[in-house]
Structure 1
């Protein structure tokens, strides 16, 4: 599953792990993406949505 929110477009961010001896290695911060059944254009579809969009009410979940 792609780690991109279909509502806000939030995706993976890149950066570095920095050890105590100041060595740098690449790492990634991935958003918390959930696959939910949501109402899109008056029909039920499965969408990949970040939890912030779910919590803020940008997505109407289908039950």
Structure 2
């Protein structure tokens, strides 16, 4: 398994805690994780590098992919 950061380098989105609530209203803890992907981008200086970006930032076009 490849370990990668769980934080988007563009928007700063990160895992947050929440709760699952069943039909019988039993409550258990859970984690909402953003969909983070490692992609090759071209940064502001024009360098090509890999970055951890959430898919919503990719879809919105907030990064230039190399």
TM-score by length of 2: 0.88
Shift of 1:19: 1.4
Which structure has more strand as a fraction of its residues? Answer: 1
Q: Name structure 1 gaps, 5 residues minimum.
A: none
Aligned residues: CA RMSD = 0.8
Count of aligned residue pairs for this structure pair: 62
Shift of 1:60: 0.3
Moved runs in structure 1, 4+ residues, more than 2 A? none
Deviations 1:24-58 (A, max 9, x none): 11001111111000001200010000011111111
Shift of 1:22: 1.2
TM-score by length of 1: 0.91
Shift of 1:6: 0.3
